[in-house]
Amino acid sequence: MVQLTIDIGGRPGIDCRGFCEYCYFKRVRGIRALGCRHCPPFQVGCDYCTKSVQERYPGFKELCTVADETLASLQLMSGDISKVTISGGGDPSCYPWFRDLIELSASMEAPLHIGYTSGKGFDDPSIGRYLIDHGLQEISFTVFSANPALRKKYMHDPTPKISLRILEELCGEIDVYAAAVVLPGVNDGEELVATAQWLEERGARGLILMRFANSPEQGLILGNAPVLRGQRIHTVEEFRDLVTSLHDRFDLKISGTPLWDPEIGSPFAVLEERELLERLPRLQKKASVITGSVAAPFLRQVLELCGGGCPVIPVRKEIACLITRDDLESIDLSTLEDTVILPGRAFVHDREAEKILSSDGHPREVVRGPDTLTADAETSMGMDRTQVLDMELQHIADLIRTINRYGG
Ligand code: SF4
């Protein structure tokens, strides 16, 4: 079974009827190339860490281009298509040829998914029924709030009541995963409770809460901080408690990113499964493992339970995948082993990382670890606990094997 992705192109903020107030792409400025694991050895900066990370694409692709590309993809595939997913940098609901696109996608006769939409482009209430009749099976829909006035003010949705009516119809018939960036004092508190209630009553499968980030430490690495001046932010602990309290109140699946999924126990659900941890390879060598401040306490416990002896070094950046060269510059080098493991997706060029981490005159080898070690809420939303545990075990085992291969 194969999956087909239909990429419609488009630019965040521009090809979605203007920037939402909280959009992370709102203030992106031209910055020095970040560097990443995809860069050539002697060049800092590649397409991925300059263009893709900023979703710097041209506008929406013409429908005929989408059709040609889809046909070309189909010719390379064999076997039945198990799923067709529409995705892009812009918002599918704002795609100028939306109904034609859906007809094209429906002609594959496979379950249709819309990877992400804000719904801001839906002005016609009949769209919900149209999508259901054309095989839409799953959609990730940014609700922000079930209060139309808040959707209008913060998402600039010109027809918030119609978007919510469409969302309501979809909730009743297909798998809807709603999402909301949580702005303290705006759509949290009773507003958020009302939104969760609204979604639960209408039959949504889940609600993913996204903690709003407003500073580089929280993950704004594109020179775009602050996104909202003066906006209050939840601490990681406040946010975790918020997710827990809502989860306890509703049957609807509620999880949060950067943490956590109370139903599954992730990130690092494996910490609750000591017998599974015992099946992991044992640490036999030593290396320093750099990670973000959210993952560090969990990862430290995991590595201790797998033999120990490898210091876990948190940087100020909360998310490991968003670590940049500045974060490495703030590490106390005297605490590092001769081998240092960097998160696979960290936005630092390997050579620059080695230079920074050896700048005290002590040469250190820098090695990339796995791209991910656990599942964030967006990943775990469609997974069950066993799948998350399998994923964690596989990636943590990879990390331990990397340490045992390169460590001192
Ligand atoms: S719909 Fe999404 S990409 Fe577009 S402006 Fe809003 S947050 Fe940004």
My answer on whether 346 and 372 are in the same domain is yes
390/321 Cα distance (integer angstroms):
21
Residues 227, 329, single domain; the answer is: no
Q: Determine the distance separating the centroid of ligand 1 and the alpha carbon of 120, expressed in angstroms.
A: 9
Task: Report the alpha-carbon angle 171-175-180, nearest 5.
Answer: 70
376 within a domain of the structure (yes/no): yes
* 301 and 230 assigned to the same domain: no
Whether residue 387 lies inside any domain: the answer is yes
CATH number at residue 333: 3.40.50
Q: Tell whether 264 is covered by a domain.
A: no
Whole-number Å distance, alpha carbon 142 to ligand 1 midpoint, is: 9
Distance between CA atoms of 55 and 7, rounded to whole angstroms?
13
| pLDDT < 70: residue spans in the chain | 30
Alpha-carbon distance 376 to 267, whole Å? 6
**What pLDDT score was predicted for residue 173?**
96
Distance CA 340, CA 246 (A): 39
| CA 250 to ligand 1 centroid distance, Å | 27
Residue 76, pLDDT score: 86
Closest C-alpha residue for ligand 1 atom 3? 12
Å from CA of 211 to ligand 1 middle: 15
- In this prediction, residue 223 carries a pLDDT of 85
pLDDT at 92: 95
Range of the domain at 42: 2-257
Is residue 196 located within the same domain as residue 109? yes
Ligand 1 shell residues, CB under 6 Å: 12-13, 16, 19-20, 23, 25, 91, 118
Quote the pLDDT of residue 112: 95
Residue 249, helix vs strand vs coil:
helix
Nearest to 212 by CA among 235, 189, 194, 192: 235
Residues 232 and 119 in one domain: yes
Tokens of 188: 């949290």
Beta-carbon contacts of 321 under 8 Å, excluding residues fewer than 6 positions away, are 292, 343, 345, 346, 371, 372
Per the structure, how many domains does the chain have?
2
* pLDDT tens readout for residues 107-159: 988 999 998 999 999 999 999 999 999 999 999 999 999 999 999 999 999 99
Please identify, by atom number, the ligand 1 atom nearest to the C-alpha of residue 18: 5
> How many angstroms is it from 53 CA to the middle of ligand 1?
15
| Other CB atoms within 10 A of residue 321 CB | 19
The answer to whether residue 262 sits within a structural domain is no
The pLDDT, as a whole number, for residue 345 is 96
Q: For residue 29, what is the domain's CATH number?
A: 3.20.20.70
- Say which amino acid occupies 320: A
The pLDDT tens digits of the residues spanning 343-399 come to 999 999 999 999 999 999 999 999 999 999 999 888 888 889 999 999 999 999 999
Distance between CA atoms of residues 168 and 165, nearest Å: 5
What is the per-residue pLDDT for 1?
A: 72
Residue 263 domain-assigned? no
Question: Atom 8, ligand 1: which residue's CA is nearest?
Answer: 23
| pLDDT (0 to 100) of residue 285 | 96
Q: 223, 257, 291: which is the final residue of a domain?
A: 257
Q: Do 186 and 304 sit in the same domain of this protein?
A: no
Using most ligand atoms within 8 A of CB, pick from 8, 16, 117 the residue to mutate for ligand 1.
Answer: 16
Q: What local confidence, expressed as pLDDT, does residue 142 receive? A: 97
From the CA of 118, give the closest atom in ligand 1. Answer: 1
Assigned domain for 206 exists:
yes
Residue 230 placed within a domain? yes
The CA distances from residue 262 to 259, 275, 277, in Å, are 9, 21, 20
Residue nearest to atom 7 of ligand 1 (CA): 23
CA 117 to chain centre: 14
Place of tokens 């040609």: 68
230 and 361 co-located in one domain: no
What is the number of other CB atoms lying within 10 angstroms of the CB of residue 223?
Answer: 12
Q: In this structure, are residues 257 and 210 in contact, taking their beta carbons and an 8 Å threshold?
A: yes
Distances (CA, A) of 292 to 40, 173, 213, 238: 25, 39, 15, 18
Protein residue with least CA distance to atom 4, ligand 1: 13
Mark whether 56 and 28 lie in a shared domain. Answer: yes
Q: Are residues 305 and 227 part of one domain?
A: no
| 319 and 222 part of one domain | no
Task: Indicate whether 111 belongs to any domain.
Answer: yes
Q: Are residues 230 and 275 in the same domain?
A: no
Among residues 212, 232, 257, which one ends one of the domains? 257
Distance 227 CA to ligand 1 centre (A): 13
Q: Please tell me the predicted confidence (pLDDT) of residue 2.
A: 86
Q: In the prediction, which pLDDT does 28 show?
A: 83
From 257, 287, 302, the end of a domain falls on: 257
Of 385, 164, 119, nearest to 266 by C-alpha is: 385
| Distance from C-alpha of 304 to C-alpha of 277, rounded to nearest angstrom | 11
Do 31 and 159 lie in a common domain?
yes
